[in-house]
Amino acid sequence: MVSLDHYLALSAILFTIGTMGVFLRRNMITVLLSIEIMLNAANLSLVAFGRYWGAVDGQIIVFFVVTVAAAEAAVGLAIVIALFRLRESLDPDAFTSLKW
Amino acid sequence: MGLELSFFYVFAAIAVVASALVIGQRRPVYSVMLLIASFAALAGLYILLDSPFVAVIQIIIYAGAILVLFLFVVMLLNAPTEAGPWERLAAGPRRSGIVLGAVLAVELGWALWHVPMTREPVGAGASGQTIESVRTIGQVLYTDYAFAFEVTSLLILVAMVGAVVLAKRHV
């Protein structure tokens, strides 16, 4: 029988992978993809907890998370497009005008 | 080993391997494709959790809409292949990134180890009751969460306008 532990452990692994992606990658599209991985890891633990307690709220919060993820992807990708027009690059290190 | 446990391990392995490869890929197109595979495996896990509504949302909205948007942007930008994800591994920020990621993994493992209730099978907490029907979800969504639901529509409107304004050449 699959225990809640299994799902939480998988969620933790996925979240760590997403975090490492944000830290290690130098491509803004891949960084956004890593953020999606982290959101999905959170979703998995929400659904697992909802199943555990027999509550509907977990699935509803997942619904909101998906909506926010869609909005985040749309705006984030628009910013990526605008930045790419500016510097012809997707490397975050190319955008350091505000650094001092 | 039960059938459910085998399915869990298969889906979990697909999800973890695909996600790790998303991080390791040089080409963004491959990354997006692998992420779709990962999300499909997660949808299988949601089915195992008796949550078909979330599984369908995962496939239709995540794989079908959000990641297709990513694919379009990747193709639109004709993005240059990254010099190599691991080549500048010795750089300072990157080393601290690895350290911070390892610390996060240790913390999460420690937290999991110290939560007492989770050794029971999933679904044991609430007298085997499951929320499978979309009707139940819809009723709670339109009553208890009605305000959040309406605010969500506003959020989507703002995101839509923001995306158009940001990506337009001349506003």
CA dihedral of residues B57, B63, B68, B70 (deg, nearest 10): 110
> Is residue B87 predicted with pLDDT exceeding 60?
no
The Cα–Cα gap between B102 and A18 comes to 12
Query: What whole-number distance in Å separates Cα of residue B78 and Cα of residue B83?
Result: 15
| Chain mean pLDDT for chain A | 89
- Sign of the dihedral defined by the CA atoms of residues B11, B24, A74, A48, in that order: positive
Minimum distance, in Å, between the CA of residue A28 and any CA atom of chain B: 10
Q: Is A26 helix (H, G, I), strand (E, B) or coil?
A: coil
Q: What does the pLDDT read at residue B123?
A: 61
**pLDDT tens readout for residues B35-59:** 999 999 999 999 998 888 999 999 9
Q: Which amino acid is at B8?
A: F
Task: Please answer yes or no on whether A34 and B22 come within 8 Å at the CB atom.
Answer: yes
Sign of CA dihedral A16, A19, A24, A27: positive
pLDDT of B22 > 70? The answer is: yes
Provide the chain A residues 10-69 that lie in CB contact (below 8 A) with chain B: 10, 12-21, 23-27, 29-30, 32-34, 36-37, 40, 43-44, 47-48, 50-57, 59-60, 62-64, 66-69
First to last CA, chain B: 60
Average pLDDT over residues A29-54: 91
Displacement of CA B66 from its chain's centroid (Å): 11
Contact A33, B32 (CB under 8 A): yes
* A47 to B57: CB separation less than 8 angstroms, yes or no: no
Q: Which residues does chain B have within 8 Å of residue A24's beta carbon, measured at their own beta carbons?
A: 23, 85, 94, 97-98, 101
Residue A24 has pLDDT above 90, yes or no: no
Nearest to B77 among A23, A34, A81 (CB): A81
pLDDT for res B125: 57
Distance separating alpha carbons of residues B114 and B54, to the nearest angstrom: 29
Which pLDDT score, from 0 to 100, does residue A18 have?
Answer: 93
Q: Which two tokens stand for residue A72?
A: 């985040």
Tokens representing B30 are 């491959």
pLDDT in tens, B91-147: 667 788 888 889 998 998 888 888 766 566 666 555 555 666 788 888 889 999 999
CB atoms B19 and A57 under 8 Å: no
